[in-house]
Structure 1
């Protein structure tokens, strides 16, 4: 039972996604309202403000509908633009590629063939 529960937790972490939505608000009150709307959706685990001027809402969760969240923010806060949706999971480090050291081939001496040479061959032509 405990192992199954741990496997489900690890599997749920692999399915998480990070949604970034640009919101133009008139002040901190509209940003706070946008965060309350984002946290109110089911499946949201964390939400926060991001970007240089804190105009982006970063939502991390499992099974969060990014389009639905963007439409809710457009209706209740104002202009909202879906910037990115990325999968959040464990980063797997790729094993370093090790170069293969091939053995050095050293060419040997070429093989010589020995042919018998007969210095005094009988002439096959009798006319000469």
Structure 2
């Protein structure tokens, strides 16, 4: 089952956003990672078997200000 994980990142620095994205891409099971929102302050990770708490913790180690907002299961298409 695929999960959608939304993490709030509080940073205005493009370099910090890049660090956060790289950390999310390294997560086991992550299929896609994108920044959303007006200030690119929401990172959306879609994947299968991604540990949301561990991912948030690793992003927080890189950029200091990250918080888990939403974890939801996505419906599989065609079912």
Structure 1 or 2, whichever has the larger Rg, is 1
CA RMSD of aligned residues (A): 1.3
Aligned mate of 2:45, from 59, 69, 79: 59
Aligned mate of 1:37, from 23, 29, 33: 23
List runs of 5+ in structure 2 lacking aligned partners.
Answer: none
* CA contact 1:70–1:82 (8 Å) conserved in 2: yes
User: Deviation string for 1:52-103 (max 9, x for gaps)?
Assistant: 21101000000000000111111111111101001112368xxxxxxxxxxx
1:9-88 correspondence runs (5 A): 15-88=1-74
Q: Which has the higher strand share?
A: 2
SS in 2 for 1:86: strand
SS in 1 for 2:75: coil
Number of residue pairs aligned between Structure 1 and Structure 2:
78
List runs of 5+ in structure 1 lacking aligned partners.
Answer: 1-14, 93-128
TM-score in terms of structure 1 length: 0.58
